[in-house]
Structure 1
Amino acid sequence: MPTRQGWTIAVSAVVAIVVGRVFGILELFVIGAALAVAVVLAVLVVQLFRPRVHVHRWVHPSMLTVGDAGRVDLTIENRGSVRSPRVSLVEPVGTASSARLTIATLGAGQHVDAGYRVPAQRRGVLTIGPTTLERYDLLGLAGGTTIAAPATEVTVAPQTIEVAMPSLGHGVLGRHLLALAQRTGVGEFHSLRDYVPGDEPRSIHWRASARSEDLKVRQHEAQGVRRCIVILDREAASYPAPVDDAAADVFERAVTISASIALSAERAGLTTRFVTGGDIDLRGPDVATHALERLARLEPGPAIDDVERDPGEGLGLVVIVTSSPDRPAWRQTDRSTDPTLTRIGIFTGSGGDGGSRLTVDASTLESFREQWNRLAGTRGLTHELHTAASA
């Protein structure tokens, strides 16, 4: 097809031919005819000598994290039997930008490598491509495009921040867990002691109690946290339509914090489980990686049904991430009957921390870091994490 310059020349040629014919000006008639022939020849050259260039694309890492920058490597190969013309390679990156490269002529069978960096600015799916080759004649009168490679979708996972898992006896949460371990008898058997109010009935050693005047309970050597369940409330009613940027960040903070805790727990060696609305219940190996893939595309949607009882053993954490302590996702998890699980609420809205010492005000990421470190009894780490796929 003619370019804008080509159409201008074509119109000028018609005008020159008409004027030359009407007024009998031979020179003007010849000039118009020459311009018309130039445009026609340019279109024929572009259409008949299309480049037989193949483009192969690699995107790495295969999953990006918000704030990272990935790389796209391209191999451009001439699969024709003659030398390829000079072309421009155009590759859309998302909806707002594109990469443009100029490829010099290549001999038959020759190839050239090129690449560029891709910043990951927001979570979701980043579409790269399809790749098009733009071919123009030497005068720029005609041009044509050819699809050289299909589009590729790259998952951009939410930002993740490393947080420390609690250890027994340290911080508010650690002291709570230590008392819970002693009361419930979680861990290896150590000795017998007298029963005190608050001990779990199942820790009573009935045979030893029968030989004594007082009830005896098993004293166990306390073990650390063994498992972690991350529950993200994605109910649409918990995140009403935002009226400003601060309101829009409430759900995004919930996603970021859920991803951070799941990834940190898995890297700390805890048996990790991720649950959210829409019957999403992830368990087993590589839970954090699978959770990040789901969270990359997650939007507010259905509420959480009753969470299936966790079959794990040992002390565990149940971390509920929602907008406020008034939401059903927080209230319904209070019905958990497993005494070895400790419930922690993280609230990303402006409703405060719920008035409990085992809740976190996450109205900002800075507040989340500070209060989580207070719970865990450590100054913690604040650098961003990267998934195994990103390494």
Structure 2
Amino acid sequence: MTATDERPTPAPVSQGRIALRTVGRSASDALRSAGGAVASVGRRVAAFTEPVTGVVSVIGWLVLAAALGAAILAVVLDWVEFAFLAATLLGAVLIAVPFVFGRMRYRVGVELQPRRVVAGERALGRLTVVNDATSPSLPSRMELPVGDGLAVFQLPAIPPAAEHEELFAVPTEHRAVIVAGPAISVRGDQLGLLRRTVRWSEPVELFVHPRTARLKPSAAGLVKDLEGEVTRTITDHDISFHALRAYEPGDPLRNVHWRSSARTGRLMVRQYEETRRSELVLLQVTSAEHYVDDDEFELAVSIFASLGVQIVRDGTTATAATEQFNLRTNTAISLLDDSCRIEPSKSSTVVRTFAREVLRRTPAASVVMLVVGSAVPLAEIRAVETVLPSDAQLFVFRADRGADARIGRTGNAPVATIGELGELPAVVRRVKP
């Protein structure tokens, strides 16, 4: 007998099991189909009743639920007190119904003046409401979300074509993008059981820029001239003259230096040092674990923005980035606007990996500026040098609130420690490659 013959023959699958599985699958499919149909009907019913149910506030639903519960208790326990309670609660909802009727025809505008401020400066807002109806409007309430807050204005009766104006202050203590709007009119009862809202305007953004320090042009070794930054690469086609060499077959005749050729009796051609425009990469690490507190993070953002604004003013080709997004560098205003959106990140960041990902997109970078917090280990900063392009120079700015301003080195990179924003201009002047 062979080994193959010794293998046990598999037991046959009974027809009953197959039928049971088929029935189970059919039942499961049927339940899923029924569930999908019920959900579809539910969505249609909700969409049909939304004009009515949409005006009931959370408090209104709680009152209706309490009225239903009291009515059930009155029937079950035969307590007339619960019947009176149910009638009272239901009556309150019915009395609130007339307050939501009526149509308003407003033209609403929301203005912020100015649209851009520095953190701590004053900003004012203006809400204008024009009655476009042919009859006076009824008194109503207008709500305007402003950042995390809510401004509420009680509008009086406004004659036809008349305008009502409300002024409000916008808190600007902290760097942020504050959204004002949309303006919403609210009709409803004083208890807030029913609430009918109409949106009248679009949101308007107020940019609260970080505080910045004014730096001198060409900060931290930046090159600012028409020829660009001289490199060590020798080429036959450029602007910066380097030396003369003997002519070789294939050299273009336009590079022949005729005076030297006549003097030496042999053809001599010019050689040049390759030049390039400075391309700068400005990075900020936003991982919260690298900063002691929020104040230190804000100091780092101010350092980042100060450097970025001066780079843009110098006309240097630049890339500015955090882990979350790239900032626009076409103008100083656009860079400051984008810096308002920088937020601490809860995710952990490996500085070397972050720098490598950005530098992959900018392989011609000649200067890399890195802004970090005081909790970043120096070993992570040294690791950034391993991903730099050839001939690129790294400069590190380390925010450390309350620390004395100083310049140290880690590897080949200078590390400037900034304790206050006002120290940045003096430190930048002292930073050397």
TM-score normalised by structure 2 residue count:
0.54
- Structure scoring higher RCO (CA < 8 A, sep ≥ 6) equals 1
Paired with 1:275 and 1:146, the residues of 2 have a C-alpha distance of: 44
Q: Tell me the amino acid that sits aligned with residue 320 of structure 1.
A: L
Q: Does 1:332 align with 2:388?
A: no
Q: 1:320 aligns with which of 364, 370, 380?
A: 370
Q: Secondary structure at the match of 1:184?
A: strand
Name the structure 1 match of 2:396.
345
Q: Aligned-pair distance for 1:249?
A: 1.7
Q: Secondary structure at the match of 1:308?
A: helix
Q: Does 1:83 align with 2:136?
A: yes
How many residue pairs align between the two structures? 302
Paired with 1:337 and 1:312, the residues of 2 have a C-alpha distance of: 7
Q: Tell me the amino acid that sits aligned with residue 319 of structure 1.
A: M
Name the structure 2 match of 1:128.
180
Q: Any conservation in 2 of the 1:361–1:368 contact (CA below 8 Å)?
A: no
Q: Does 1:262 align with 2:308?
A: yes
Q: Secondary structure at the match of 2:341?
A: helix
Alignment of 1:289-308 (within 5 A): 289=334, 292-293=337-338, 295-300=340-345, 301=347, 302-303=349-350, 304=354, 306=356, 307-308=359-360
Please list every run of 5 or more consecutive structure 2 residues that lacks an aligned counterpart in the other structure: 1-55, 57-91, 246-256
Name the structure 2 match of 1:229.
281
More off after superposition, 280-289 vs 325-334: 280-289
Q: Tell me the amino acid that sits aligned with residue 72 of structure 1.
A: G
Summarize deviations over 1:29-67 as a string: whole Å, max 9, x none. Answer: xxxxxxxxxx99x96874555654442323455555423
Paired with 2:232 and 2:333, the residues of 1 have a C-alpha distance of: 29
Q: Tell me the amino acid that sits aligned with residue 296 of structure 2.
A: V
Name the structure 1 match of 2:205.
154
TM-score normalised by structure 1 residue count:
0.59
Q: 1:277 aligns with which of 310, 319, 323?
A: 323
Q: Secondary structure at the match of 2:144?
A: strand
Q: Any conservation in 1 of the 2:146–2:181 contact (CA below 8 Å)?
A: yes
Q: Aligned-pair distance for 1:155?
A: 5.4
Q: Tell me the amino acid that sits aligned with residue 298 of structure 2.
A: E
Q: Aligned-pair distance for 1:233?
A: 1.5
Q: Secondary structure at the match of 1:121?
A: coil
Q: Aligned-pair distance for 1:296?
A: 1.6
CA pair 113-361 structure 1, distance change in 2 beyond 3 A: same
Q: Aligned-pair distance for 1:161?
A: 1.4
Q: Larger C-alpha radius of gyration, 1 or 2?
A: 2
Q: Aligned-pair distance for 1:118?
A: 2.0
Alignment of 1:1-391 (within 5 A): 46-48=99-101, 51-59=104-112, 64-96=117-149, 98-133=150-185, 147-149=197-199, 152=203, 154=205, 156-167=207-218, 173=221, 184=232, 188-192=239-243, 226-239=278-291, 242=292, 247-278=293-324, 280-282=325-327, 285-286=330-331, 289=334, 292-293=337-338, 295-300=340-345, 301=347, 302-303=349-350, 304=354, 306=356, 307-308=359-360, 310-312=362-364, 316-324=366-374, 326-327=377-378, 330-335=381-386, 336-339=388-391, 341-349=392-400, 355-356=408-409, 358-375=414-431
Please list every run of 5 or more consecutive structure 1 residues that lacks an aligned counterpart in the other structure: 2-38, 195-206, 377-391
Paired with 2:329 and 2:98, the residues of 1 have a C-alpha distance of: 60
